[in-house]
Amino acid sequence: MIFNERLFRHEHVLNVARQMMTAARTAPKGKGMDLLEIALIEGEELKTLSDKMIAMAAENGMKFFLRDADNVMQAECVLVIGTRAKEHALNCGHCGSPTCGERPDGVPCVLNSVDVGIAIGSACATAADLRVDTRVMFSAGLAAQQLDWLSGCRSVFAIPVSASSKNPFFDRKPKE
């Protein structure tokens, strides 16, 4: 039997994305508190995400949202990683306030942000090991957050995933 790689590419990318989800989940977390939420977006929801990013570009004037919206449509799938907000009660001062009780509303606990960053790094390292292309996107993460795809999460980031002849997330041209 002869199998052409093109027949399996999409399923392979989805399997890699699932492994990325596991890598993000098993990444180290501050105080061992797992506040992460992780989702895999594919199919019609990619268009929903892209359309939301286009609408946000019109609202906020950030043209890179348009470029990133195109990249979402070029991806096989998008991984979304976010954290629920919860202080770790360490009074460490890394957020800029001397104690957790003095931290202003809306300022995240640094450990939550670090946990998301470590999870993103673990997910992207897995993708690199398995030779698929990715790019971390604040813009797509913010759109997913506004779509409430990770209920109750703040600090949401997205990672589009692709396995094509040319990495669509590299040498990107700005939109006019």
- CATH number of residue 21's parent domain: 3.40.109.10
Task: Quote the mean pLDDT of the chain.
Answer: 93
The answer to whether 132 touches 16, Cβ cutoff 8 Å, is: yes
Total residues belonging to the chain: 176
What's the confidence (pLDDT) of residue 106? 83
Q: Which domain holds residue 132?
A: 5-162
- How far apart, in whole angstroms, are the C-alpha atoms of residue 161 and residue 156? 16
In a domain, 38, yes or no: yes
Number of domains comprising the chain: 1
In a domain, 109, yes or no: yes
Residue 176's pLDDT band, with cuts at 50, 70 and 90, is low
In a domain, 33, yes or no: yes
Percent with pLDDT over 90 in the chain:
72
**What is the average pLDDT across 7-26?**
96
What's the confidence (pLDDT) of residue 89? 85
In a domain, 156, yes or no: yes
Point out which residues pair with 78 in neighbouring strands.
41, 160
Q: In what order do the strands lie in the sheet with 153-162?
A: 36-41, 77-84, 153-162, 133-134
The answer to whether 82 touches 41, Cβ cutoff 8 Å, is: no
The answer to whether 90 touches 111, Cβ cutoff 8 Å, is: yes
